[in-house]
Amino acid sequence: MNYKNLENQLEQFRRIHPRAEFSRESKSLILATPRILTTSSYVSPSWSTRIQYGLSSLVRVGSFVGIGLSILIISLYATHELSPVLFPGLSPQSITAEAEMLNSNMNIELSRLGYFDTASQESNSALKQLSQKQFNHLNDTIINSEVTELQKVTATPSDETTQINTLIQQLSN
């Protein structure tokens, strides 16, 4: 096999063709797809077209900017000037007064909370003491009663002690 023969054989592949149905469908699908326009796809527009396009673009951009600025100015005017009239609740004086009232209410609530906290701590400790019997010997009332009992006992000698003392005196005499 020489090169010429090989080239001739390769040329036979030229007879491969796509299916007609595929070609038709693919073509119609592609041409129905919207094109992505790039800058180079414009065919050199004339100067008048460019000026017209530039002017119309300027007018469009200008009108957008104008509308935006108007909305901004109107909203600022409404906030600063008309709000005390249309929305009295939005005036600085009323807002300050409302804030102060809220602040004082909050202080009262906080002091009440502090009182409840102290009271609950004290009652807790008292309850704890009462519930713990092993600390009874430290209770002031119990200690005082015991002291009184002891004094009574020591102040009045018993009958046995008197009899013993009498016997001792007799013996000594």
Partner 1 sequence: MVDDRLTDEHEILKKAIAGESSAFGSLYDIYQPLLYRFIYLRVSHREEAEDLTHQVFLSAWQNIGSFQEQGLPISSWLYQIARNRVIDYYRTKHVSISLDTETEDIHPSLDDIADSLETKIQLEHIRTALRSLHPDQQDIIIMRFVEGLSNAEVAAALKKHEGTVRVLQHRALRTLKKQLEKRHEHEL
Task: For residue 14, give Cα distances in angstroms to 7, 9, 23, 38, 111.
Answer: 12, 10, 17, 35, 99
Cβ distance to partner 1 smaller for residue 33 or 141: 33
- Work out how close the CB of 61 gets to partner 1 at its nearest, in angstroms, rounded to a whole number: 25
Residues in region 2-41 near partner 1 by CB under 8 A: 3, 6-7, 9-19, 22-23, 26-27, 29-31, 33, 35-41
Smallest gap from residue 18 Cβ to partner 1 (A): 4
Query: Closest Cα to residue 80, out of 92, 96, 64?
Result: 92
Q: How far is the CB of 45 from partner 1 (least distance, A)?
A: 11
Residue 84 identity: P
Smaller CB separation from partner 1, 37 or 86? 37
Least spacing, CB of residue 49 vs partner 1, in Å:
14
- The radius of gyration of the chain from alpha carbons, rounded to an integer in Å, stands at 56
Contacts of 95 (CB under 8 A, 6+ apart): 89
Q: Quote the least distance from Cβ 52 to partner 1, whole Å.
A: 19
What's 111-133 look like in SS3?
HHHHHHHHHHHHHHHHHHHHHCH
Could you tell me how many residues of this chain bind partner 1 (CB under 8 A)? 31
Question: Contacts with partner 1 in 32-91 (CB under 8 A)?
Answer: 33, 35-41, 43
Tokens of 112: 């009440």
Residue numbers at the binding site for partner 1 (CB under 8 A): 1, 3, 6-7, 9-19, 22-23, 26-27, 29-31, 33, 35-41, 43
